[in-house]
Amino acid sequence: MDATAVPSNAASNRVSQQKPTISASERCSKACSQGRSILGEQYVCKSFEFKDGERRIIRIGDDEIGVFRHEGEFFAYSNYCVHQGGPACEGLIIARVEERLRPDKTSMGLFFSEKDMSFACPWHGYEYDMRTGQHIADRRVRLRKYQVLQKGEDVYVVV
């Protein structure tokens, strides 16, 4: 969130009825998710195949992990929403909505952040911080986060 940022329920409400927006290409193929696994490092894909703003969903046994690329960095979270177990990483990826304040603390209105991104669970709109996996309205609530490694051109999630 920028300036004095206030999480917006409007953003959650806006996406609350959205169906998953994930495409078939974002869901890793069997070869991608099961092709190479090295001592807890789960292969995701080649970094050049993973463009900024994209995501991948990898399956490891019965678990799923959402991997995002944002401004050149990778972030990975459990794909199971803390609310009711929905596919937390498969909804909209949106700029954070923030309220900007004047010096006298009156509102200038709601704006989309120019740097902070969120992703929203498609079931009921729980909105998570792209960099931390925390719920934007209650920072105590968060998705399980996984470390992402790059080895040369290969991207791995540590499980």
Nearer to ligand FES, 66 or 86 (CB): 86
Nearer to ligand FES, 88 or 136 (CB): 88
CA pair distance 15, 126, nearest whole angstrom: 9
Q: Report, in Å, the least distance between residue 24 CB and ligand FES.
A: 22
Site residues, ligand FES (CB under 6 A) = 81, 83-86, 88, 121, 123-126
Nearer to ligand FES, 123 or 146 (CB): 123
